[in-house]
Structure 1
Amino acid sequence: MATPMTPAHTLNLYGVLSESKRIVNAHSRHFLALSLLFLLPLSCSIIILPALRLPIARSDVFSGVADHALISPQTLIFPIIYTLIVYILSICALASITHSTYHGFYGRSVKLFPAIKSIVFSFFPLVSTAIAAKFILFLISLSFLMFVVVIVKLAQNLGFVIDYNSSYFIWFCGFLGVILSLVMVYFQVNWGLSSVVAVTESKWGFEPLWRSSYLVNGMRSVSLSLLFVFGVLIVFLVWIGMNSLLDFGTIDEWRSFDFFLQTMITSGFLSFLTLLLLHYTAANTVLYMYCKALHGELAIEIAEEFAREYVSLPFDDAKTPHVVTVVSA
């Protein structure tokens, strides 16, 4: 029996968001389970733990014990544990959701156990890729710092007096800061697909970075838009959520209406942040598939999937892959 054709998506931000939403909705219970397992604890770690720690840090500063506590091993325990929790949850969420979205794009069966199992195989590629990216960004930041030092020393050797509090020096540092930020954004846009490459192609180290830079060529505007839209929303939600959580300290009675209202507001922020992280990860995976289509790598794979998977009934239109076409202008 002939397979009904699904509408083709254009290679733009709307197409990426529409396709990722379709995949998530088609497997809503599966992605809900993954969100509860990894993304909701990650959201709590991002919002709740720093908000609970902030009043303690403030009290240490105002009590005058911070100078001694900063160098004590006890002070380093919380940041280390917190970083490990956030990083492990991020790796698990990236691996499982990317794996599920990738298979959902082809219309394959999406199950919880294979998604969790993919974490084992994707853990090292994701970690090694993140280390490689951080190493390059560290070298870039160090180069900018050395450039500032060289400029300052050169000016001093030429007889100029450098006033570090002057507005000119502050504007100079601000200008370099903007340039450095733009460079970081450029690399982030080019490397945006590196985590998807690490999961789906089992590449690791620097290779996913180069592979991502190749794939995103021609789709940088979409990658930048995706990064900007979700980045702004996620940062805004985290900032508002942390400020909302800090208001708990002003509530004296836990049975009061204010406490109930504040609990509902914080729960809402956690839920929205979880949804944003889910859809961002799914959209990034769909962007990877669209980039492959743009480079002519997806046509054969889609043909194989149709030939192998979609010859039997019943036919579920919501879970079938959409045909991706590239039209030359």
Structure 2
Amino acid sequence: MATSAHTLNLCGVLSEAKRIVNAHSRHFLALSVVFLLPLSFSLIIFPTLQLSLSKSYVVSTQFLVVDPTDLRRQLTIPLLYALFVYIFFIGAIATITSSTYHGFYGRPVKFFPAIKSLFLSFFPIVSTTIAAILVLSLISLTFFLFFAVIVRTGENLGFVIDYTSKYFMVFCSLIGAVLSLFIIYFLVNWSLACVVVVTEAKWGFEPLWRSSYLVKGMKSVTLSMLLLFGVLIGVWVWMNSNDVLHFDAADGLKNWPFVLQLVAGTSVLTLLLLHNASANTVLYMYCKALHGELAIEIAEEFTHEYVSLPFDDGKVPHVVTVFPTY
């Protein structure tokens, strides 16, 4: 039985995720090609498409004549793009989470069982997403109502509110900052929700509450990982999509530097998304270890292997001893 020691910190999570990905590199490469590569390419190339649509819409409306066809296209294409991104995002999360989960235990990691996990988890992930959006929408609505009540109360008391003054702008910024902190707080608490959906077959609000329980004692690691991958992915997409905006479509594939940059940008973004999903699953396992749940599951896993199968098939459970750091 393989044993490795890790501390419950960001480096431990990232190193364990890297170990699992490297141990099943062909499998994760296949999943990345199917789900993450189209997602990465679309994230980089979409700003160019959106800019061309915006230019055509501006040209058609510069004489105050609105073409209904252009207006529908202006609204439909972003919605279709968002749907495309969300579907491939669910596919990547479900398959990579399931594969990392089984790889952590030393179980066989295969392509078609990973695809099967997608069909089992698709609608539960959608329902959990709707539940999270509903809660965040209610919180945002509460803040906006609070803001409106303060402004209206001030006007009723006889105060003259200058909506263009710097003081009003500062007040709006403070409200926005507080709202952002609340949203980040909930995102940290719910960061394991999709993993819970895939591994524990829960859906709706239940994965949100389960995730909030698991991240207790690990919020600093969760926030660090959220910021790390959020900044890396956001900056990388911004850098590459900004360069794509200056691409001259008339040159086509003759512009080899652009093609190479697009390929490199898409490949690096795919790797970032892959390690993000895998590290999130490892974080889930470490959170379970901190709450004393992982030892029981590993014991059951080892007992099952010992009773039903001899250790001659290459299936070796992976046991992790963790030491929390504060």
Whether the aligned pair in 1 keeps the contact of 2:54 and 2:74 (CA below 8 Å) is: no
Whether the aligned pair in 1 keeps the contact of 2:298 and 2:319 (CA below 8 Å) is: no
**What residue number does 1:214 align with?**
213
The reply to whether residue 163 of structure 1 matches residue 159 of structure 2 is: no
What RMSD over aligned residues (CA atoms) do the two structures have, in Å?
A: 2.1
Instruction: Give the Å deviation of 1:293.
Output: 0.4
Cα deviation per residue 1:150-207 (whole Å; 9 max; x = unaligned)?
A: 0000000010011100000000001111111111100000000000001111101000
Q: Distance in 2 between matches of 1:122 and 1:314?
A: 29
Identity %: 58
* Counterpart residue identity of residue 29, structure 1: R
- Tell me the SS of whatever aligns to 1:323: strand
Change (3 A) 1:328 1:29: closer
Cα deviation per residue 1:200-247 (whole Å; 9 max; x = unaligned)?
A: 111010000000000000000000000000000000011011111112
Matches within 5 A, 1:28-107: 28-61=25-58, 64=61, 68=66, 72-107=71-106
Q: TM-score, normalised by structure 2?
A: 0.93
Cα deviation per residue 1:11-36 (whole Å; 9 max; x = unaligned)?
A: 11011000000000000000000000
* Counterpart residue identity of residue 45, structure 2: I
Matches within 5 A, 1:20-35: 20-35=17-32
Q: Distance in 1 between matches of 2:174 and 2:46?
A: 34
The reply to whether residue 268 of structure 1 matches residue 267 of structure 2 is: no
**What residue number does 1:9 align with?**
6
Higher strand share: 2
- Tell me the SS of whatever aligns to 1:248: coil
Question: What runs of 5+ residues in structure 2 fail to find an aligned partner?
Answer: none
Change (3 A) 1:26 1:229: same
Q: Distance in 2 between matches of 1:40 and 1:284?
A: 19
Question: What runs of 5+ residues in structure 1 fail to find an aligned partner?
Answer: none
Whether the aligned pair in 1 keeps the contact of 2:101 and 2:281 (CA below 8 Å) is: yes
Change (3 A) 1:41 1:255: closer
Instruction: Give the Å deviation of 1:304.
Output: 2.2
Q: Distance in 2 between matches of 1:83 and 1:130?
A: 14
Matches within 5 A, 1:1-329: 3=1, 5-61=2-58, 64=61, 68=66, 72-249=71-248, 252-254=250-252, 256=254, 259-309=255-305, 311-313=310-312, 315=314, 321-326=318-323
Instruction: Give the Å deviation of 1:63.
Output: 5.0
